[in-house]
A and B are shown apart, each in its own frame.
Chain A
Amino acid sequence: METRNLICIGCPLGCPLTVTMDGEKIEVTGNTCPRGADYAKKEVLSPTRIVTSSIRVTGGRIARVSVKTKSDIPKAKIFEVMAEIRARKAEAPVRMGQVLIENCAGTGVDIIATKTVEVA
């Protein structure tokens, strides 16, 4: 049997969670809502994160366009995703929601712009 203490990040309440794993059985205590139990299970089995960063823009009103993974990606893939983001450039104009990298680092998840950068 293995026990892990987590802090729920589902909302600002930050409930202290205790996850007990006994083979296939996972038990969660300390949560105040079902989202806490879901989070804890996911966190011990297959943790994921939304990654936010920025990509260099040429010819834009500002030098960087902010970006994010369109959905969450496996936590273990964060640095591979970042390596692709850091190597990439975009050209102004960039529209919010525009896909800047397709299927980033083989995760199946696109990188999209989170702001609009007009031409300088």
Chain B
Amino acid sequence: MTYHDIVIIGGGPAGLSAAAAARKAGAQDILILERDNVLGGILNQCIHNGFGLHTFKEELTGPEYASRYIAMVEEEKIPYKLNTIVADISADRKVTYINREEGLVTIQAGAVILAMGCRERPRGALNIPGYRPAGIYSAGTAQRLMNIEGYRVGNEVVILGSGDIGLIMARRMTLEGAKVKVVAELMPYSGGLKRNIVQCLDDYGIPLKLSHTVVQIHGKERLTGVTIAEVDANRTPIPGTEEYYSCDTLLLSVGLIPENELSRGAGISMNRVTSGPNVDDRLETDAEGIYACGNVLHVHDLVDFVSQEAALAGENAAAYVLRAKEPAAAAQGRKVPLSAENGVRYTVPQILNLDTMQDAVTVRFRVADVYKDRYISVYYDDKRVSKKKKKVLAPGEMEQVVLKKSSFAEYPDLGKITICTEVE
């Protein structure tokens, strides 16, 4: 069986950044497996700008951002296989992939980095009544059809869900001559970034109807219209508020789901909130030597944070395989769970290795609702050790706190770290 030190599943932003960082950290034998016919992942179809403000201090489009990381991988001559789909990963890091040239192949990896990204929640998950006519797309599918394959997609458009891809597509379709009539959002707040609401909806006078949803699909062969209604606090449509919109296209931008069939197949423990693996501060899953990063771990708002996180996974995977070659492996030491409470939905990582952690560990999380003037607090057991006031917190935007190793010196018997929101 062929062996590689590090096998990276996915050649999108997470996989590319992990590969570059692993090489920088000294790993020689790296292989990237990518199922598409190009590297770069979803960035290839995200032709709008706004990527890279944190990483490169300039505003790039998706393809430009991807090309910087592809260039790093090419310069380092890191091997990759395109048109190659991974069928299975085992807990002892055997990776089985399929492609046309080699057929079905199983290889042994010293370490595996999961970087498979996420996919869109489909119509079938929404229970909207009505026929299944042509003209209903997930926003990302419409984005690909337009930006890569060059189709027009539709003329009169309604968008359900105010996730970032839906907002971006509202502008994109408007610019291509379509009429976007309304964006309906089930929740009382948008799931997208504020700047996207400003630049994609407000700029073009596209109304955003919060607490509204599609209750009926009209049309049999091709979509002819949708009925939208207001919903109450329990997200139940309010009778009498129904409004009909004629349209030939309905885009769904109703959430992203990490794509973890392979992780589950390897028996990795999963987090119910993120739908991604549980990881420690090294981004290692509970299967030794298997790391996770990017949107397969938890859905990010900005690619810059994906790149940062993936670089950390790459460094740690490199350290793991280099350590394994010199058998004096580091002792495991104390492990402390991180708990998300009171308005914090989850944290990544979920476990901190107190003894082996880096000097500073970034903990990322999302909040459960829109909050104004709240503190983000960190507790070591029952002691509040830090608080930071935030003017606005919203579920659409990822938040973070940094935990310093030095701050744990006074807590030798620490049992739990809690991250929560508080009014005072």
What residues make up the interface of A, taking CB atoms closer than 8 Å to B?
Answer: 6-7, 9, 11-12, 14-16, 49-54, 56, 62-64, 66-68, 75, 78-79, 82, 86, 96, 114-116
Contacts and interface: CB of A to CB of B under 8 A. Distances in A.
B399 to A, nearest CB: 11
Contacts of B203: 49, 75
B176 A66 contact: no
Given A86-B177, A96-B67, A52 B150 contact: no
B199 A9 contact: yes
Interface stretch (B41-49, B255-263, B284-292): B41-49
Given A50-B59, A52-B48, A66-B62, 12 more contacts: A6-B198, A12-B53, A14-B193, A14-B195, A54-B47, A62-B149, A64-B148, A64-B149, A82-B176, A114-B47, A114-B63, A115-B63
A12 B301 contact: yes
Contact of B47 (A16, A52, A82, A96): A52
Contact of A56 (B64, B67, B150): B150
B150 A114 contact: no
Nearest to A96: B67
Interface string B180-206: 000000000000011101110001000
Name which of A11, A14, A49, A50 has the most chain B CB atoms within 10 A of its CB. Answer: A14
B6 to A, nearest CB: 28
A81 B197 CA distance: 22
Nearest to B172: A53
Nearest to A50: B49
Nearest to A9: B195
B339 to A, nearest CB: 26
B149 A63 contact: yes
A114 B175 contact: no
A82 B48 CA distance: 14
Interface residues of B, number: 32
B210 interface: no
B63 A96 contact: yes
B175 A12 contact: no
Contact of A82 (B44, B53, B67, B175): B175
B302 A12 contact: yes
A12 B217 CA distance: 35
B146 interface: yes
Interface of B: 44, 47-49, 53, 59, 61-64, 67, 146-150, 172, 175-177, 193-195, 197-199, 203, 301-302, 391-392, 397
B369 to A, nearest CB: 17
A86 B176 contact: yes
A66 B148 CA distance: 8
Given A49-B199, A49-B203, A50-B49, A12 B177 contact: no
Contact of B193 (A12, A67, A114): A12
A60 B413 CA distance: 62
A8 B44 CA distance: 27
Nearest to A85: B175
A115 B195 contact: no
A91 to B, nearest CB: 14
B198 A62 contact: no
A115 B149 CA distance: 14
Contact of B194 (A14, A56, A63): A14
Given A52-B61, A53-B47, A78 B175 contact: yes
Contacts of B47: 52-54, 66-68, 114-115
B195 A7 contact: yes
A79 B171 CA distance: 12
B150 A54 contact: yes
9 contacts: A9-B199, A12-B53, A49-B203, A52-B48, A53-B47, A53-B176, A54-B150, A66-B61, A68-B61
Contacts of B195: 7, 9, 12, 14
Name which of A7, A16, A114 has the most chain B CB atoms within 10 A of its CB. Answer: A114
Contacts of B49: 50, 52, 68
Contact of A64 (B150, B194, B197): B150
Nearest to B196: A9
